[in-house]
Structure 1
Amino acid sequence: MGRKSIQELQAGYADHSFTPLEITKHYLKRIKCMDPELNTYITVAKQRAVKEARMAEAKENAGEQTGLLYGIPLSYKDNIDTKGIRTTYGSSIDANHVPDKNAAIVQRLYREDSILLGKNNMHEYALGVTSNNPHYGPVHNPWKTEYTPGGSSGGSGAAVAADLAVASVGTDTGGSVRIPAASCGVVGLKPTYGKVPAKGVFNVSWTLDHVGPLTANMTDMAILAGAMAKQSYLPYLKQDIRGLRIGVPTSYFNEHIEAETYALYVKSLEALEALGAILIDTDVSFVAGNADVSLTIAASEAGYVHKSRMECCLSQYGADARAFLESSRDITALQYIEALKMKEFYMKKFDQLFRENIDVLATPTIPIPARKIGVDEVQIGSYKESIFDAMTRYTGIFNMAELPALSIPNGLTSEGLPVGLQLVAARCREDLLIRAGYAYEQDQLQDFYRLRDEICAGY
């Protein structure tokens, strides 16, 4: 059986081609067979998955109304609390933590009759972008297993690409849904801040954290994102984007980017224009310096969140997580407040931009494809930076601006590694992203998806 979309699975349930229990067992078998090589899961919830599949079937057999995600096997990043299922936050400090209640989003999707397959591997405490976890081992990119899948929701991105879950739920503080989506050739959405509840998620930064879906295609994205936000995005799955005003940044998002990645981005813009979108040169020079602002907010709040753990268990953190948290000690209250004021400035500038000039902003998701596991530094021409700074450079600003941002695949480099196109809209305008992403996908990505499913999922 090849990859099946949410709609295909539910059509199969309706005509009794297969049952939720059979599909759940199919996924558990795939995980057992394929995950030792990819390491996308920390915990597989086999008993719970089977139990939930049987419960969903019983509900349907009793003639009760079933939910939007009836019989759909999902995975969750391991910083999202799951009642009775070990939730490690990707750490050794919390290796034996078993929550006594579900996170709000887990409970919301459980009520829609979804099935929980397990908890995905991730960068320790979500404090990085490689998912090279010192305690549970690195997650491997299914395109090329010696490469990272991005992070921090790396297990989620890799699991969806390899079809070890129909879809996954991750978190995003500075790009942690979109970076793995781009690196693994899947679709990832950071919704508008607050649109999806974050209660029961272990924070990096309560100011910047978002909960978002990763899916294999735009139709699955519309369904899962709709269930997560309690609204329907299906009406926006339209191929017509004629007249849509798409902003093309004239600075920042075209700087310090690898040539192949930039060429794929330009090709994406041409495809959108051919579909009838109107490309508009857009001045975003006001975002210069935003990475330092984001880091000040994230490190300050992470230092507070981890205060007691740092006091008792600092030596148990991996080197990069420890360094990130120790950096919080040097940030003054004044610097933190100034950063929050800059965040307000970014929000106002983007609000004005979308109100007056454009409907959607199009940027590359990441300036480089994934790097090999263990690589910590990136050189683009004469420009050298840490892999963290490179991977978050185009994504973090939209966490501060609280805007919905979608990453959709836009091709492969000559090394055979995917990169992504990032589409951004005004707050609460996910509908525009669904519409633009779907039109682009239908026009451009059918061959890409076939290749991905052959290479990553073995279909």
Structure 2
Amino acid sequence: MKNVSILSLKEGYKKKEFSPVDITKMYLDRIHQSQDLNAYITVTDDIALKQAEIAEKKYIANEATGILEGIPLSYKDNLNTKGIRTTSGSKIDEDFIPDDDADIVHTLQREGAIQLGKVNMHEFAFGITSNNPFYGSVKNPWNKEYAPGGSSGGSGAAVAAKLGLASIGTDTAGSIRIPAASCGVIGLKPTHGLIKAGGVKHISWTLDHIGPLTQTMDDLAIILEAMTGGQYTSSLKEDIRGIRIGVPKNYFNEGIEENTARLYHKALQDLESLGAVLIEIDIPFSSEDLALSFGIGIAEAGFVHEKSIVSTLDSFGLDVKASLEHSHAITALDYIKALKRKAQLTEQFEQLFEQVDVLATPTTPITPQGIGEEMVEVNGVTDSVFNTMIRIPAVFDLTGQPAISIPCGLADNGLPVGLQLAAANHNEKILIHAGYAYEQAFLKTFYDKRNNLI
């Protein structure tokens, strides 16, 4: 299972060294042998093998034209899949079987992707631990006593443990990047609206994003091409001399635990050693601004779940129930004010990205916490794990700019730490360029350790 990538699989298929059926069976076997991770809610063995057989015939006939032809991956369980139950990690939707695929599922299956199944998640994507009361807690492959992050925790765990080559998740306040950082993989939250969101069980249409989690930067670039029809693999370049990297003077560098801060500053030094230019920069954001994302998200979630709040409120998990009960308290005036400030912040960050090409921050202020832990102390300050983990990544859900998390090492407790890179709207290419250069120069040893997880 070492050094498997989209390109290596496709090359092996073409040379008849192995087949899509062989590879799909291998991944399905790994999934069933790793049930203790609780990464999957539904494994679609029969569908995956049928899709693999179709891909195999295409390779035999030299008609394999899809970008992801024969590539096995998974989908977060809030993405609709035709004829396959889509629970959103909830009791309420435990028997929901969609009539159609989500837009992104349709797009990737059209490109030949093989669907291994639906991965576990925090209920209705409302949290960042993936401690699910109905389908069980997802476990972190680096240490099964710890959470994998969330809400796309099943995606992060599945990719890290090689239970699929990639996974498609959603991100409202960091829900792709938090599990990517927690599980030591790569996760991209693209520009808001870049990827069609039809057929997704939203928290907030204003804040929600769809994006990939992958093992490597080249896989991410290829999958993003399949998702969007754009050209991203040309940005896989190792020369970043002259790229301006913003180093925050405030907000993003506050309240960071010692291990995370150490590895973050080491990553900045590494980027500078590659020829990047580090520029200190003021950040136009505060804790008061972060509260706006709560107001927008909870207000819109109250609308999305309006019928269930009235009819089946007690069927929600306790944390989700508490959030939804609060939704009615948000006034129309508060909601409109938050949207106005959101637009202002987006413009202010666009102006910031005229001064620098990329902004570099820790992905999260802390490493993953133990399963079931809800509070954490950082530098003498105690807060909820939720508030602490989202404080950095949620900024770019509010502003909409693209942001990626890539591994930058292991903390003293043996758990991964993530480096977040953000850029101007629709400038995913610079993130891929900078991330790839960093990966190629500094992540080989980390990847070797990740390959030996399971």
Structures share fold, TM-score greater than 0.5: yes
Partner of 1:411: 409
Most deviating of 231-240 and 128-137 = 231-240
Partner of 1:362: 360
The Cα of 1:211 is off from its aligned counterpart by: 0.2
Query: Structure 2: how far apart are the matches of 1:226 and 1:379?
Result: 41
Residue 27 in structure 1 maps to residue 27 in structure 2: yes
The Cα of 1:330 is off from its aligned counterpart by: 1.1
Query: Structure 2: how far apart are the matches of 1:161 and 1:150?
Result: 12
Asked if the contact 1:256/1:367 (under 8 Å) is kept, the reply is: yes
Task: State the superposition RMSD in angstroms.
Answer: 0.9
| Unmatched 5+ stretches in structure 2 | none
Q: How does 1:284-295 map to 2 (within 5 A)?
A: 284-295=283-294
Residue 344 in structure 1 maps to residue 354 in structure 2: no
Most deviating of 93-102 and 50-59 = 50-59
Write out the 4+ residue segments of structure 1 that deviate beyond 6 Å after TM superposition: none
Which SS does the other structure have where 2:452 is aligned?
helix
Asked if the contact 1:84/1:100 (under 8 Å) is kept, the reply is: yes
- Normalising by structure 2, we get a TM-score of 0.99
Which SS does the other structure have where 1:140 is aligned?
coil
Partner of 2:451: 453
Residue type of the partner of 1:350? F
Partner of 2:105: 106
Query: Structure 2: how far apart are the matches of 1:416 and 1:112?
Result: 37
Query: Structure 2: how far apart are the matches of 1:69 and 1:246?
Result: 32
Partner of 1:271: 270
- Normalising by structure 1, we get a TM-score of 0.98
Which SS does the other structure have where 1:189 is aligned?
strand
Which SS does the other structure have where 1:117 is aligned?
strand
Q: How does 1:32-431 map to 2 (within 5 A)?
A: 32-34=32-34, 36-355=35-354, 357-431=355-429
Asked if the contact 1:124/1:321 (under 8 Å) is kept, the reply is: yes
Query: Structure 1: how far apart are the matches of 2:51 and 2:320?
Result: 35
Asked if the contact 1:296/1:339 (under 8 Å) is kept, the reply is: yes
Which SS does the other structure have where 1:241 is aligned?
coil
Deviations 1:394-431 (A, max 9, x none): 01110111100000000111000001000000000000
The Cα of 1:65 is off from its aligned counterpart by: 4.4
Query: Structure 1: how far apart are the matches of 2:36 and 2:289?
Result: 37
Residue type of the partner of 2:29? K
Residue type of the partner of 1:381? N
Distance 1:78 1:104, change over 3 A: same
Query: Structure 2: how far apart are the matches of 1:177 and 1:285?
Result: 23
Asked if the contact 1:189/1:405 (under 8 Å) is kept, the reply is: yes
Asked if the contact 1:80/1:202 (under 8 Å) is kept, the reply is: yes
Residue type of the partner of 1:215? T
Asked if the contact 1:287/1:346 (under 8 Å) is kept, the reply is: no
Residue type of the partner of 2:254? E
Query: Structure 2: how far apart are the matches of 1:189 and 1:393?
Result: 17
Residue type of the partner of 1:382? G
Query: Structure 2: how far apart are the matches of 1:107 and 1:183?
Result: 29
Deviations 1:364-412 (A, max 9, x none): 0000000000000111122111111111000111011110000000011
Query: Structure 2: how far apart are the matches of 1:407 and 1:381?
Result: 23
Query: Structure 1: how far apart are the matches of 2:189 and 2:269?
Result: 25
Query: Structure 1: how far apart are the matches of 2:224 and 2:408?
Result: 21
Deviations 1:294-334 (A, max 9, x none): 00000000011000011111111110011111111111111
Deviations 1:32-71 (A, max 9, x none): 111x210000000011000111111223333424200011
Residue type of the partner of 2:47? R
Which SS does the other structure have where 2:13 is aligned?
helix
Asked if the contact 2:364/2:391 (under 8 Å) is kept, the reply is: yes
Deviations 1:267-288 (A, max 9, x none): 0000000000000001004344
Query: Structure 2: how far apart are the matches of 1:126 and 1:245?
Result: 34
Which SS does the other structure have where 1:286 is aligned?
coil
The Cα of 1:3 is off from its aligned counterpart by: 4.7
Residue type of the partner of 1:198? A
Residue type of the partner of 1:204? I
Asked if the contact 1:3/1:163 (under 8 Å) is kept, the reply is: no
